[in-house]
């Protein structure tokens, strides 16, 4: 499916979460995304991220940087009271926030928790490091979107603590909901605070005994999993309206732990065309447009 822009009065705005798994320079990937039809990107922060180059390429292509994803590792340490463990990840989150300011990126996505091995007790929660992040974001005019992953109790605790903070919102990951918490409807609970989407598909909980597994987090194209997209669109339409629908899709999920390698043997150009076709179908329904 290739979209012909001349058939549409206005194309839906569709974003793409950049990964670090492509077989070519990131500037070429951004060029391909623009030619395919995407209008925004969302990189993942790391100390090695060349955001200056990304921002320049995005500007040249007439696109926008919709959000910056915060660091991916060490997030559980933010809940700890040992500064020796929490200080490094807090510093990385603050550095990502500074990058948002420098490059005029409005949203910083932060994982509420990562990992399936945990023991949650509400009375043990320690919010000091998150308070620093939230207050700093408020001072700098940055929105923080807490994302649903494993450990839904931690997301609930953050959304409850910062319920009255206008710079704190929710990032809905459709795939995480499907494979980690299929009985939760996060959009019903937090849709009024939705400020970012990570739309992707997976096969749900695949273990025959219903055991949660990190390898079920596949980030497949929306046509290749078991998410009910008709229902997802209806739920999204009831949530806070989004200007851009972002899709977080991965050519090879989980790296060496990949259990469903569907895309790594096809050219990147073909993968992005398929990704845009699927994203366009969902976005055009969400924005109530007709091709």
Output the pLDDT for position 9: 52
- Does residue 154 contact residue 116 with C-beta atoms inside 8 Å? no
pLDDT (tens digit per residue) in 241-272: 999 999 999 998 765 556 678 898 899 999 99
Q: Please list the alpha-helical segments (H only) found in the chain.
A: 26-36, 51-60, 83-102, 128-140, 152-161, 174-180, 186-190, 229-238, 268-286
The tokens describing 161, both together, are 């603590």
CA distance 199 to 232: 10
- Assess whether pLDDT exceeds 90 at residue 286: yes
Please give the mean pLDDT across all residues of the chain. Answer: 93
Residue 121's Cβ-count burial label (10 Å; 0-12, 13-18, 19+) is: exposed
Pick the closest to residue 26 from 9, 46, 49, 3 (CA basis).
Answer: 49
- Assess whether pLDDT exceeds 70 at residue 140: yes
Backbone CA torsion sign across 254, 258, 262, 263:
positive
Q: What is the mean pLDDT of residues 265-282?
A: 96
- Does residue 125 contact residue 91 with C-beta atoms inside 8 Å? no
- Assess whether pLDDT exceeds 60 at residue 291: no
Q: How far is CA 180 from the centre of its chain?
A: 15
The top-scoring range by mean pLDDT among 8-12, 20-24, 137-141 is: 137-141
Helix (H, G, I), strand (E, B) or coil at 110: strand
Output the pLDDT for position 20: 85
> What is this structure's pTM?
0.94
- Assess whether pLDDT exceeds 90 at residue 56: yes
pLDDT (tens digit per residue) in 163-174: 999 999 999 999
- Assess whether pLDDT exceeds 70 at residue 151: yes
Pairing of strands 67-69, 64-65: unpaired
- Assess whether pLDDT exceeds 60 at residue 206: yes
């Amino acid at each position: 499916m290739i979209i012909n822009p001349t058939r549409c009065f206005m194309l839906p705005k569709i974003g793409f979460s950049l990964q670090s798994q492509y077989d070519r320079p990131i500037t070429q990937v951004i060029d391909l995304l623009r030619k395919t039809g995407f209008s925004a990107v969302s990189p993942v922060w790391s100390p090695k991220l060349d955001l200056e180059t990304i921002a320049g390429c995005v500007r040249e292509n007439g696109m926008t940087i919709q959000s910056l994803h915060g660091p991916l590792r060490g997030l559980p340490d933010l809940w700890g009271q040992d500064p020796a463990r929490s200080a490094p990840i807090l510093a990385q989150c603050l550095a990502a926030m500074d990058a948002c300011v420098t490059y005029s990126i409005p949203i910083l996505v932060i994982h509420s928790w990562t990992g399936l091995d945990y023991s949650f007790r509400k009375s043990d929660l320690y919010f000091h490091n998150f308070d620093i992040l939230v207050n700093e974001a408020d001072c700098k005019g940055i929105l923080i979107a807490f994302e649903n992953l494993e450990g839904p109790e931690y997301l609930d605790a953050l959304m409850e603590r910062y319920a009255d903070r206008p710079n704190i919102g929710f990032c809905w990951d459709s795939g995480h909901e499907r494979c980690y918490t299929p009985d939760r409807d996060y959009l019903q609970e937090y849709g009024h605070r939705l400020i970012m989407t990570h739309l992707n598909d997976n096969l749900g909980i695949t273990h025959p005994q219903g055991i949660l597994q990190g390898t079920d987090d596949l980030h497949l194209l929306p046509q290749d999993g078991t998410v009910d997209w008709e229902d997802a669109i209806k739920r999204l339409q009831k949530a806070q309206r989004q200007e851009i629908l972002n899709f977080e899709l991965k050519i090879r999920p989980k790296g060496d732990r990949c259990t469903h390698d569907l895309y790594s043997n096809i050219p990147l150009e073909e993968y992005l065309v398929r990704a845009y076709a699927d994203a366009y179908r969902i976005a055009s329904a969400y924005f109530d447009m007709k091709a």
